[in-house]
Amino acid sequence: MEIDTDKIDEAVLGLLWLTLHEERRAWKGLDWNALDRLHEKGLIANPANKAKSVVLTDEGLRRAEEQFRALFTRPAPRAMSAGRAPKK
């Protein structure tokens, strides 16, 4: 089996969004190899420091939200109009 590290990185970005605090900091308790790759891609600041969190770049912040929504949210339910049952 071959691991798709790009998919891993997308999931890690989504999870960073989940733990976001102070506008652009996220807990870095995730796979170090993935964090290093995200840093190499310019999506997060260097994770090799004493802080327990990592800073997302502008692009990283945008993509993290995008991945979080794509991977971890459900579509909004359709609104019922004028008492009609939703279409199936």
Give the start-to-end residue ranges of the domains of the chain: 5-72
Global pTM?
0.81
Quote the CA–CA distance of 1 and 28 in Å, as a whole number.
Answer: 27
CB environment 63-81: b (16+ within 10 A), e (fewer): bbbebbeeeeeeeeeeeee
**Mean pLDDT, range 4-30, rounded to an integer:** 95
Lowest mean pLDDT among 54-63, 65-74, 76-85: 76-85
Yes or no: is domain 5-72 CATH 1.10.3470?
A: no
- Predicted local confidence at residue 76, as pLDDT: 84
**Mean pLDDT, range 48-53, rounded to an integer:** 92
**Mean pLDDT, range 5-29, rounded to an integer:** 95
Higher pLDDT, 53 or 87: 53
